[in-house]
Structure 1
Amino acid sequence: MNPTAFICATCGTQQAPAAAPPATCAICEDPRQWVPAAGQPWTTMEALARRHAIGWREVAPGLLGCGMFPDFAIAQRALLVRTPAGNVLWDCVALLDPATVAIIKALGGISAIAISHPHYYATMVDWARAFDCPVLLHGADRKWVMRPDPAIRFWEGERHAVLPGVTLHRLGGHFAGGTILHWDVGRGGILTGDIASVTPDRQHVSFMWSFPNWVPLPAAEVTRMGAVLEALDFDAVYGAWWDRVIPTGGKAAMRRSVARYVAAVTGPGPLGD
């Protein structure tokens, strides 16, 4: 049997090619994620292509979203940041089909892929090979790479310039290497995945160590994260899902959110009636 790069159907992470699926998914076994009661399910790129497709939407001028329909695994969508110096793919999805390759190549290809944290690594190696580009990951999360490849480049420290106007910042929190992308265009924007997760009201963000298992972060860590965000100039916040966008007023929303979070976890009591 030819080796297959199996994909976890719970988190969407692709594994190194093997003759059979792994016994477990290390990403899902970690207490930030979860394993279904029926056991760990696996799929392949070919199987996904039979049941899913990639859909596209313009999220903002110069910013295109692409995601899987119907939803798969965590159901995040990726963002293609378009700049005069090249395109950057922010975060990743598990499916990569010929139509998507053709669309992106027609738009100028991808200069680099940057990913917020391990839950969105998905099939990043297939994407990197299709567009002959590097994948930029923070070195603090290197142990979570399930499919090593020469295309993966680890960066260290607190800041990494990708292209003019596109910079990565380590925010931490959800993962030690949790990353956001600062996009210096217009009044500025940040792409946050769920490192600073836009809430359903689209007026706040929130922070968690584990979202599915409802484990919060310490107040001191969120205060530190807030200081990193305060140093950036931005108006818009683009979260991990289609409807999780704060199109304007994002800096004020971030300040309110950090203050609310710290008040909630430090007490002395409920925030309201």
Structure 2
Amino acid sequence: MQRPRAGSFHQDAESDSDFSVSMLLKFCEEDRSYWEECYNKVSKTAEEYKREIEDLKAKNSFLRLWIQTDHNGLDGPGFSDVVLFAAKDGPNGGLSKPVPAHKAVLASRSPVFKAMLEHEMEESRSNNIKINEVSYDALRAFVNYLYSAEAFLDERMAYDLLVLAEKYQVQHLKDYCEKFLVSKLNWENSIINYAFAHRHNAKHLLEAALSIILVNKDKLKNHRDYSELVKSDPCLLVEIYEACLAKQEKHCSTGSC
């Protein structure tokens, strides 16, 4: 057997080292190319989103109606041809300050307003629409949403606007309020939200609140709103227990009992 030449192992090691460095550089180059490609795609997407946002802002600005201030210092859509009032929210339980609007906008956003204004009803003849059991602030926010599809919500305003959206069949606003209220759900407010959603046919809020209640079913009787629900709506409580039972039966059917 031929004896290896002196230094051959050293040379082989150097050769292997050169190969490893070469491969590492190749991998790094490929990796760098990959991340550069990802960065370019993300940058392009960010620019596209930025342009879309600017386009939407421009369209929203274009669609906004001219706002005028009347002799009472109240702002409202210019050349309005109908006025809304929040009944029982004004002085001594009377009408609130007027909220001006346009029949064409109300009718195009709400089938209820459309039917009201198309037929010979008092509102159509007098150009005055009284909205019962709503605050002036909520009514004004409601009308503003019909024009701009924008609303600044807290939980109280979201409840009020969802009620108006349900009453006047403004589904876009109803969905908007439901998403906000779902984002604020927790164990403490789950029962009151479940009851509210049941009254106003808010399906997404109802399901989200019920899921929280079912997860915490062992603590249900100790909930601060439990006794009030027993008094005010025992049938609703039966529905909750039926949902608990159905969940338990499903759990057992999978052999997990």
Which structure has greater strand proportion?
1
Q: Which has the higher contact order (CA 8 A, sep 6+)?
A: 1
User: TM-score, normalising length from structure 1?
Assistant: 0.27
Say which one has the larger Rg.
2
Which structure has greater helix proportion?
2
